[in-house]
Amino acid sequence: MVNQALLEEIAEGKVSYLVPTDYNRKGPGRRTGGVFYNRQMQFNRDVCISFIDAVCRKGCRILDAMGATGIRSARIAVETARDMDITCNDSSTEAVELMRLNFSRLGLDEVTVSRRRAQALLSEEHFDYIDIDPFGTPVSFIPSALLSARNRGVIAVTATDAAVLCGSARGALRRYLCRPLRAPFMHEIGLRCLAGYIVRMAASYDLAATPLLSYFADHYFRLYVRIERGTLKAERSLGMIGYAHHDPVSGERTVDRTPSSGAAGPLWIGPLHDRETLSGMHVREWFGTYVRMERQMKIWREECIAPPLHYSMDELASRLKISMPERDSLMDYLSSLFPVYRTHLDPKGIRTAATLREVEEAILKKYGGGRGAY
C-alpha cells in the first residue's frame, strides 16, 4: 500500500494529484528509487496535451509506456476534448499503486493500469499514440514502439541524454549511429540526430517516420513522429536523411546528402515541424506554462518554413567583434534584405537561407560603426 504520509498534493493542469514529497522541482532529475515526478517537465506535458487534442481522434488507443506517477495519463483523460482509450503502464509496483490511488481519487475508472516492462507490452499490443519518456536514452524502446504503432499512429519520444546527442559526452555513434557536432548550433544537430535515428530505424521495418513536432527544452529533446507503413514511403523518408557540414574557420554551414570527413550525421535534414499539426494545436488557459507555450508555438510555426542550421547572434558578434542589437531589432533590419526567422533552439538565434557572408556583410553595414568592408 502507498504510504500517503510520504505524498504531497500538487496541482497541474486541471488535476489535483498526489506525488512523492521529495519530487524533483527543477532540472533533469535523477533516478533515486521510489516514484519519479519532475515539476519542470510540466511544459513537456502541456505540449503533449495540446498535441493529442489536435491529432488524436475519439477512441484512439493511447499508451503512456513509462507512466511513473501517471500524471500524464490523468491529464490526457481529464483535459482532452475526446474520449480516449488510455493505458498507463509502469514496471514498478510502487508506481502502479500510486497511479491507482490517484485515478481512483479523480474518478478515472476508464484508464487501464498496467504493470509490465514497456518493451513486452509494446510487442503484444498496438496503439495509435505511444509516449516514450524514459530516464536517459530512449533507443532501447524505439524498435518495439515502431512496430507497435498503428498505421498513421504517432510515437512521442523524450531523450534526456542531451550531452551525448550534442557531442559533449561520448556515446552518440554507439547509441544513435550518428556523429554529433560541437558547434554553436549543437542543439539543432542533436535534435536532428535523434530524428534521423528514428527515421532510419523505421525504414528498416518498411515504415516511414515523419517528424510532426521536434524541440529542445530545458535539459531534453522531444519528438512527435508519425509512422506510416509502406516501402515507398519509407524510401521517401530516407530522402530527408543527410549530413551537416561546418567550417569552424569561415563559420559557413550547409546540409546535403553527401558524407564527408568531419560532417555530422547521418541526420534528419527535413522540416522539424508540420504546419498542419501546429495549426490544430491550442494553448489552453489552464496550462501552467501558458506564457511559455504561447511564445514557443509562434516560433515553431515560423520554423516550419525556415531552413536548417541557425546562426547564433553571440557567434556573429564574436566573429565580427561588434556589439549586437536585440534579436527583434536585428531581424527587422535583416528581413528587409532577405527572409529571416527565429528559432526555438537559441533565444539569440536566427534562421535564414542567406549565406553567412551575406548575413555578416549586412550586419557590418548597419552596425559595424564604419567597418562596412568584409
Are 138 and 176 in the same domain? yes
* Separation between Cα atoms, residue 259 and residue 271, nearest integer Å: 20
- Peptide linkage before 184 cis (omega within 30 of 0): no
Last residue within a domain, chosen from 276, 303, 330: 303
Query: 63 with 87: CB under 8 angstroms?
Result: yes
Instruction: Check residue 4 and give its pLDDT.
Output: 75
Instruction: Check residue 36 and give its pLDDT.
Output: 84
Query: 255 with 243: CB under 8 angstroms?
Result: yes
Q: Rounded to the nearest 5°, which phi and psi values hold at 218?
A: 60, -95
Number of domains in the chain: 2
CATH of the domain at 156: 3.40.50.150
| Alpha helices by DSSP H, the chain | 42-55, 71-79, 93-106, 118-124, 142-148, 162-165, 172-176, 186-204, 231-238, 275-280, 290-303, 313-320, 327-334, 356-367
Task: Give residue-wise pLDDT tens across range 86-124.
Answer: 999 999 999 999 999 999 999 999 999 999 999 999 999
Q: Residue 335 is part of which domain span?
A: 311-367
C-alpha cell recorded at residue 3: 504510504
Are 283 and 322 in the same domain? no
Are 233 and 342 in the same domain? no
Instruction: Check residue 35 and give its pLDDT.
Output: 86
Are 123 and 143 in the same domain? yes
Low-confidence residues of the chain: pLDDT under 50? 32, 373-374
179 domain-assigned: yes
Are 103 and 243 in the same domain? yes
